[in-house]
Structure 1
Amino acid sequence: MSIKILICDDDSLIRESLKILLPLKGDIQIIGEAANGRECIEFCKLNEVDVALIDIRMPEVNGVEAVKEIVKSTNTKCLILTTFDEEDYINEALYYGAKGYILKNNSPDQIVNSIVSVYNNTIVMNDNILDKLHGKETNPKISKYDFTEREKDIIIAVSEGLSNKEISKKLFISEGTIRNYITAILDKTALEHRTAIAVNYLKGNL
């Protein structure tokens, strides 16, 4: 089954290029396009989109705000595809639930691989994006908490993009127990969701 994609970019040439190239490189179906974050949000609310490719800087509603609303209101997974690698953009997009952050200088093959990874619940970032995040502490309270060994196992598994079912198979504990551990981790760190756990672990904060 093809992965259903929405392309959101204010540059029409980028949209047209991606519409042509991406289906040639993988089992990808482009089901829509948007020129700004507002159009992106509306399309995702009205259609079943598997992965939304979203630029950061756009008119009316930017990519970060689009991610925030789409993650809150739909089941669409958001992958940032942009030329901007400023830390603020990266941190905000990931904080609000983007599953990946990659740059437009990636090849079509690399972009498709990233789409597939995000579709399969794996967080994707370019090496240079990870370099910017590594060691940057966005929540200084985290380091004050001591995690149990099992909580550390859960954190690592979440950062690998594993679902609760996959973690259950890996660690031989029930999905209900995993949910309890994740709730405990969120309570300790004051983070809001599992993506934030993964991002902060990748930054070296957990």
Structure 2
Amino acid sequence: MTSVLLVDDQQLVRSGFRLILELEDDLTVVGEAADGAAGVEAARALRPDVVLMDVQMPVVDGIEATRRVVAEGTSRVLVLTTFDDDAYVFDALAAGASGFLLKNADPDHLVDAVRTVASGHALLSPEVTRRVVERMVAGGAAPRTTDAPAVAAGPVAAAPEPAGGPAPGLDRLTARERQVLEQVGRGLSNAEIAGVLFLGEATVKTHVSNVLAKLHLRDRVQAVVYVHRHGLAG
């Protein structure tokens, strides 16, 4: 059972999220908070697997609250907002959020996002992923990964190489792992990669974990950036 804490200053939003999540047999909402400070305290007391965090809230905003929750080391944070703005995306990632999703996402996407973040993976909506890649490949401001929670696949990555530089660690990958990496760079899910490469989904998952470990990448978002930064997308 995955436990979830809802942090949002709008009661109606919290009620809607609770209704969506508690329809699932494997998800349970263990608490709610109406501002960032209360959310931090609730996360400390309840130790949920995932915190759904709004951005604009009174007392303490969602970005700072995310930073404090991540520092506790017990919960992963999925940031949800109505504001489709680059600044929020990069601030949330810099604060250590494991995911960023717009509130206009379908209920199924919200449920999948909670499960993805709870399992230790990073999650960004497709449009957000594109902007992360564009910003980092262009050499603009990038999220700091050293404060973010590490996943089981490998250690936290160092700062990315300048665009167009050599692809560090690529020679450590097998031919199949490189194929999988290229598909991750296209934004494909494990199931989609399995279909493209005619592999089992569990096999793809293993390859992805190996790729992240060998390249010292924290998550799939860093893998996407790696592929585009080093011209491996084809």
Q: TM-score range by the shorter chain?
A: 0.7 to 0.9
Superposition map of 1:61-72 within 5 A? 61-72=60-71
Q: TM-score, normalised by structure 1?
A: 0.74
Task: Please give the secondary structure, in 2, of the residue aligned with 1:101.
Answer: strand
Compared CA separation, residues 32 and 202, structure 1 to 2 (3 A): same
The answer to whether structure 1 residue 83 and structure 2 residue 79 are counterparts is no
Compared CA separation, residues 201 and 88, structure 1 to 2 (3 A): farther
- Structure-1 residue corresponding to 2:5: 6
1:149 aligned to 170, 192, 197, which one?
Answer: 170
| Runs of 5+ consecutive residues of structure 2 not aligned to the other structure | 143-158, 189-202
**1:74: how far off?**
2.7
Instruction: Give per-residue Cα distances to partners, 1:115-140, cap 9 Å, x unaligned.
Output: 01111112111112122222212259
Give the structure with the larger helix fraction: 1
- Return the alpha-carbon distance in structure 2 between the equivalents of residues 127 and 170 of structure 1: 22
Superposition map of 1:32-111 within 5 A? 32-111=31-110
- Structure-1 residue corresponding to 2:195: none
Which amino acid in 1 is paired with 2:38? E
- Structure-1 residue corresponding to 2:145: none
Identical positions, percent: 26
Compared CA separation, residues 21 and 141, structure 1 to 2 (3 A): closer
The answer to whether structure 1 residue 202 and structure 2 residue 231 are counterparts is no
Task: Please give the secondary structure, in 2, of the residue aligned with 1:84.
Answer: coil
Compared CA separation, residues 33 and 135, structure 1 to 2 (3 A): same
- Structure-2 residue corresponding to 1:190: none
Task: Please give the secondary structure, in 1, of the residue aligned with 2:135.
Answer: coil
Instruction: Give per-residue Cα distances to partners, 1:90-128, cap 9 Å, x unaligned.
Output: 011112211111111122221111101111112111112
RMSD: 3.4
Task: Please give the secondary structure, in 1, of the residue aligned with 2:134.
Answer: coil
| Runs of 5+ consecutive residues of structure 1 not aligned to the other structure | 161-165, 186-193
8 A contact 2:129–2:221 mirrored in 1: no
Aligned residues: 185
- Return the alpha-carbon distance in structure 2 between the equivalents of residues 141 and 78 of structure 1: 23
**1:10: how far off?**
0.6
Task: Please give the secondary structure, in 2, of the residue aligned with 1:142.
Answer: coil
The answer to whether structure 1 residue 134 and structure 2 residue 133 are counterparts is yes
- Structure-1 residue corresponding to 2:193: none
8 A contact 1:45–1:74 mirrored in 2: no
Instruction: Give per-residue Cα distances to partners, 1:139-171, cap 9 Å, x unaligned.
Output: 5973176413257779x5x999xxxxx99x649
Q: TM-score, normalised by structure 2?
A: 0.66
8 A contact 2:80–2:102 mirrored in 1: yes
Question: Which is further off, 143-152 or 15-24?
Answer: 143-152
